Chains A and B, each alone.
Chain A
């Protein structure tokens, strides 16, 4: 059996014993182990177990003829490729044709040249093995080609597709228009490929937008005048690459370029500017108090707001006039989201230096418009810092840091309707945010109102004027204490608007009372420290006075001691101008802060108001009597009137009168009330006491 593997086995089929013997001898000499069958039936039986490498088959045999035996052997799959050589005595072409038709590999005619037979069959076996190998190899190649998703084309020297070898069924496009697309490129490539034998790569695409497909084509030499072209659909790969790029350089929430993208553009801008000169600016934008929205309302709502805001900023940046000047490309006008609520804009090759301010103010205006989200209205204001290359920095870090710092300064200044920013901002409640939004809407509506609390001259018993106090009645929640909403207004950047509203309301009231029994009685309004430090108080106050054409002396301004002292030098100037314009000025909450006496002397003030904390405990504290006495003495020494606040008992009034305090204010005499009620109170008071009306506010003269 082992020999079966080492030497080829042959089967000789012939009814002639001498013929069989000779054939066997010839084949054995050629290296075959030989089995013999005396007829076709025996041969077919033997082939059930036997797998010869060669069958020598006589044509003319009794029982079953050679042709039929050949067909029967060939029909069995295991002998599909076994060489069968038919031995024929008939040399006519008819029997030779018949041999081939029966599946014979070759034929030998009698008489046989015995010494040559061995060579002949060895050749036949070898050829058969080669052609079998070729068939297997072709089958393998066919399988490969079918497995490859690429289109495989044969290209002629004119760059035309002359044949498609494989991949047709998988090809998503018709090959008909490929030559049109690529003919000129391929024509060039074919020449090079055939000349050099080198592989050529190229890429092309078809279609537009979403349905655009990308292809990679490789061309290799095929024959003398043909090249093989392998075309692969690389659309998925291209899309994946683009996605990775987008993830790396774009912000997924807003679709804007991200920090990496911005820093790359900035480096690029610096590199260009270093080489070619030129200036550019970066704007650093941060949303005021945005963290609070996220913390109290959740990130999903915060994200929605961010999307809206980023769309608004983008619209400003993409405004037609800017696009006209800077082009649609992002290299000159690059907006990015750095993360969180921070955005940057890179503005290169500035056409006009004012463009930076223009775009900043547009953004502030656009972003500050109310946003309705989740059934709630939000107003989000941005603060913007600007840094210019090369004045504010020549490297990325410095420029960004300086723009960031400028942004913080913008926040602190509270200018241009930008909110102030508190670094110690704590997590606020939803109620807080609601109040903030409600308050914003309330300014200018009838929810806000001034109440007036009369002041009583202690010496003469006459009403000497009023302090105007702001009241807010929320449509749903009812009255809300100023102690609650004023700090919100300050943090939300609403205090300037609120202060201005109060000034106008007070002036309007003064004007209204001008012709009645309350004419000539001054009204005091409280100014916040923010109004002094962040706006042109003088202009704002005088505008209110002039708009309502009132006597300036009828408007008194109250400023707390601590606010007065915060920027004493700056405040003196403003107060002096106001004083010269005829307004009276009082220091509120006196005694609670730290006052420099030398400054106090310099301030152009008319009155001090003793803080209610001293007055309230005036009954049982000897200390407070001393303090009040000292304040009153000090005020008088500086030629100032003294007004006591928060007077609630007869005893307090008597003590203050004793201490020669000039005026008092408090529940004991009158609660604050709206304008009509105040007017009735005054009329009743005048009628009841029948005391002479004191129209001169300078009651200190009386005291």
Chain B
């Protein structure tokens, strides 16, 4: 596992900032806000799916979490979500609880870092 000093890769946020239309809504803020809402929702969904042994539920929500976390530069979170998605695709939920807690810890770290940058949502 790669050691990462920060949960959020700032370069990803810079790339989003480059898409900012002049005079438009603050795109980064919008994306970060969306990430806050979506990641919390998806994390809950995964938790419920694991509890219910719903492999497809785990896969689909992990996939979505991978996608939205990648966009805000939460790369480590994206890797964990991808691992969970891949595992679900293989049809195995072995050590799902461990993976889930690791993923939720990383999610918290990323949210905290983003709140540090943009303030609480």
Binding site for B on A (CB under 8 A): 15-19, 21-22, 25-26, 28-29, 60, 62, 89, 110-111, 113-115
Contact = CB atoms under 8 A, between A and B. Distances in A.
Contacts of A89: 63, 66-67
A19 B63 CA distance: 12
- 3 smallest CB-CB distances across A and B, nearest first, come from A25-B19, A16-B67, A18-B68
30 contacts: A15-B64, A16-B68, A17-B38, A17-B68, A18-B38, A18-B67, A18-B68, A18-B71, A18-B72, A19-B68, A22-B19, A22-B27, A22-B31, A22-B71, A25-B16, A25-B19, A25-B20, A26-B19, A28-B21, A29-B19, A29-B21, A60-B63, A62-B60, A89-B66, A89-B67, A110-B70, A111-B70, A114-B15, A114-B18, A114-B19
Contacts of A21: 27, 30-31, 34
Contacts of B30: 21
Point out which of B19, B63, B66, B72 has the most chain A C-beta atoms below 10 A from its C-beta.
B19
Contacts of A22: 16, 19, 27, 31, 71
Contacts of A19: 67-68, 71
Interface string B6-37: 00000000011011110000010011001100
B117 to A, nearest CB: 16
Given A26-B19, A62-B60, A114-B19, A18 B66 contact: no
Contacts of B68: 16-19
Secondary structure type dominating chain A contacts = helix
Given A17-B38, A29-B19, A115-B15, 20 more contacts: A15-B64, A16-B64, A16-B67, A17-B68, A18-B71, A19-B67, A22-B16, A22-B19, A22-B27, A22-B31, A22-B71, A25-B16, A25-B21, A89-B67, A111-B70, A111-B71, A113-B15, A114-B15, A114-B16, A114-B19
Given A17-B38, A18-B38, A25 B15 contact: no
Contacts of B38: 16-18
A25 B27 contact: yes
Nearest to A16: B67
Interface in B58-111: 60, 63-64, 66-68, 70-72, 78
Contacts of B31: 18, 21-22
Contacts of B67: 16, 18-19, 89, 110
B34 A17 contact: yes
B24 to A, nearest CB: 8
A607 to B, nearest CB: 146
A113 B14 CA distance: 11
Nearest to B66: A89
A111 to B, nearest CB: 5
Contacts of A60: 63
Nearest to B35: A18
A248 B119 CA distance: 104
A114 B31 CA distance: 13
Contacts of A114: 15-16, 18-19
A110 B27 CA distance: 19
A255 to B, nearest CB: 90
A676 B77 CA distance: 158
B107 to A, nearest CB: 15
Nearest to B20: A25
Nearest to A117: B19
Contacts of B60: 62
Nearest to B68: A18
Nearest to B56: A62
A18 B30 CA distance: 8
A25 B28 CA distance: 11
**Most chain A CB within a 10 A radius of its CB, from B31, B38, B78:** B31
A105 B16 CA distance: 26
Contacts of B35: 18
A22 B78 CA distance: 17
Nearest to A17: B34
A62 B72 CA distance: 22
Contacts of B20: 25
Contacts of A17: 34, 38, 68
A110 B66 CA distance: 10
A210 B78 CA distance: 86
B83 to A, nearest CB: 14
A110 B70 CA distance: 9
A151 B11 CA distance: 64
A669 B31 CA distance: 158
A615 to B, nearest CB: 144
Contacts of B72: 18
B65 to A, nearest CB: 9
A25 B70 CA distance: 17
A22 B19 CA distance: 8
A62 B42 CA distance: 14
A385 B19 CA distance: 108
Nearest to B59: A60
A28 to B, nearest CB: 6
Contacts of B15: 113-115
A171 B38 CA distance: 70
Contacts of A111: 70-71, 78
A115 B71 contact: no
Contacts of A26: 19
Nearest to A60: B63
A29 B18 CA distance: 10
A115 to B, nearest CB: 5
A29 B60 CA distance: 30
Nearest to A29: B19
B98 to A, nearest CB: 24
B33 to A, nearest CB: 9
Contacts of A16: 38, 64, 67-68
B85 to A, nearest CB: 9
A276 B70 CA distance: 105
A115 B15 CA distance: 6
